[in-house]
Amino acid sequence: MHIGKAYKSIKDGDWESYIVNAMETNINGCIMMPPCIPDFTSLPDGTRVIDFLCLRDETGVVRYVSKKELNGHIVIEDVKSDPFFQCNKDLLCFCEKVRSDKFLARFAPLAHPLFFDFDSFTQSEWDSIIALKIHPGSFGIEINDVPKKFWEKVEKIKKPVILHTGYKNSIGHEWLDVLKKYNIKVLFTHAMRLDTRTSQIINSDKRYSVGIAPYKRLSEMKNFQHTTDFLLNVSQLFSAESLIFDTDYPENFMPDTKEFHWDFIEDMQQYWNQIEIEDIMYKNAKAFFELENEN
């Protein structure tokens, strides 16, 4: 779930409101991460970033830029270092502070494969980090843009990857074709956008799981395979053993009612029995992220 202010977000991820609502809904842990494009984060040189953009010129060449506010003026510059460095550092520190016996907060940094510096975290920080988050659409990358050395490094540090899937440049089966070469655990968000070409692999390979984010707006999103019932399609495509609950807060905010949707259990009871729901809600995640010994 995303904590912080996001560029062009419908709702900012506020920790105080999240923790109250989560615990009232019997959610007692989370993997915390920045929004896909954090707004007003800082670069290592101390300048303020308004947003991170990928621009494509008429020849198809992509340019990665940031807008900096310098002396009251907006300056567009090419990105030369990790644009999410300071945001990751700050949120990791925050996550360590808010973790308690009552609520297990773990952290996954945004990792842009073209800029991420594995050495920016100490060994003790890596011990605390639970996974890496890749958001191809917002990062402006295709699967073939990711250098081989990035996957090799992820494989070496033995951290799972949370991969945001969608249409265009983050199509699930295309990423699976490359990832199968590496011994890396991957959680594909939003149920692989209901990509039917992935279900057989996901259901048969323990390295892979899908997040289901059962908030009601998913059935209305245009970048899914056509569906009138998101959870029904999930239950038909993927085994319960392959599913991991994902609130994707604050995306479960319902603009029409101005409230957050928290009735996940009620929604899921239509398609899974109690044992399957327990697996989806926490047992699968604890096994996938190797947290079996934590409450």
Contacts of 271 (CB under 8 A, 6+ apart): 231, 232, 234, 235
Residue 12's Cβ-count burial label (10 Å; 0-12, 13-18, 19+) is middle
222, pLDDT greater than 70? no
Can you give the length of the chain in residues?
A: 295
Average pLDDT, stretch 103-114?
A: 93
Give me the sheet containing 132-134, strands edge to edge: 132-134, 161-163, 186-188, 208-211, 243-244
Nearest residue to 289 (alpha-carbon basis) of 164, 133, 151: 133
Distance separating alpha carbons of residues 21 and 17, to the nearest angstrom: 6
pLDDT at 55: 74
14, pLDDT greater than 70? yes
- Residue range 228-252, pLDDT digits in tens: 788 888 999 999 999 999 888 887 8
96, pLDDT greater than 70? yes
Higher local confidence (pLDDT), 294 or 187 = 187
DSSP string, 245-264: ----TTTTEETTTTEE---H
pLDDT at 251: 79
pLDDT at 8: 67
Q: Which amino acid is at 190?
A: H
* Tokens coding 84: 């999410």
Distance separating alpha carbons of residues 237 and 240, to the nearest angstrom: 10
Integer CA distances (angstroms), 85 to 25, 40, 223, in order:
33, 12, 30
Average pLDDT, stretch 138-160?
A: 92
Minimum mean pLDDT range among 47-61, 76-90, 121-135: 47-61
| CATH number of the domain located at residue range(s) 15-39+82-288 in this protein | 3.20.20.140
**Does residue 102 come out as left (phi exceeding 0), alpha (psi in the -120 to 50 range) or beta?**
alpha
Average pLDDT, stretch 13-35?
A: 87
81, pLDDT greater than 80? yes
CB 176 within 8 A of CB 198: yes
Higher local confidence (pLDDT), 5 or 88 = 88
User: Mean pLDDT of all residues in the chain?
Assistant: 86
217 confidence band (pLDDT: 50, 70, 90):
low
Q: Is 223 helix (H, G, I), strand (E, B) or coil?
A: coil
pLDDT at 187: 96
pLDDT at 37: 81
pLDDT at 113: 95
Looking at mean pLDDT, say which of 31-45, 80-94, 253-267 comes out highest.
80-94
177, pLDDT greater than 80? yes
Strand partners, 253: 260
Contacts of 44 (CB under 8 A, 6+ apart): 81, 82, 85, 86
Q: Is 23 helix (H, G, I), strand (E, B) or coil?
A: helix
